[in-house]
Amino acid sequence: MAWIYLVAAGLFEWGWPVGLKLGMTDAGIRWGWLAFSVLCIAASGTLLLLAQRTIPMGTAYAVWTGIGAVGTFVLGLLLFAEPASLARFFFVGLIVIGIVGLKIASPD
C-alpha cells in the first residue's frame, strides 16, 4: 500500500507546478489555479507522509521527486510547448532509470 501512496503523491506533484504556472499571468493572479496548487501540495505531502511510514525516507523522497520531475517535464512539453531535445529526453530517462532502480532495490 505504501508504494501506491508514493505513486499517488508523485502524481499530485504534477499539479502544483502547473497550478503555479497558470496562476500568475500577465493579466494578474488567477486564484483558482493557485488554490489548486495548494491542494496538490497538501495532498502530495500527506501521501508522502503515509508512504514514509514503510518505505525508507531517502527512497521515498527520491522516487517522489523523480515522479514529479518526469511528470512536469512531460506536461511542460504537452501543455506549454516547452523545448523537446534529445538531451532533455536522455536526462529525464536517467531519472526514470533511477526511480525503477530504487523500486527494485527497495526491501518492500
Model pLDDT, residue 108: 67
What's this model's pTM, rounded to 2 decimal places? 0.88
Q: Mean pLDDT of successive 10-residue segments in the chain (108 residues)?
A: 97 97 94 98 98 95 96 97 96 96 85
Domain chopping of the chain, boundaries: 2-105
- Is 51 exposed, middle or buried, given 0-12, 13-18 or 19+ CB atoms closer than 10 A? buried
Model pLDDT, residue 67: 96
Which amino acid, 16?
W
Model pLDDT, residue 106: 82
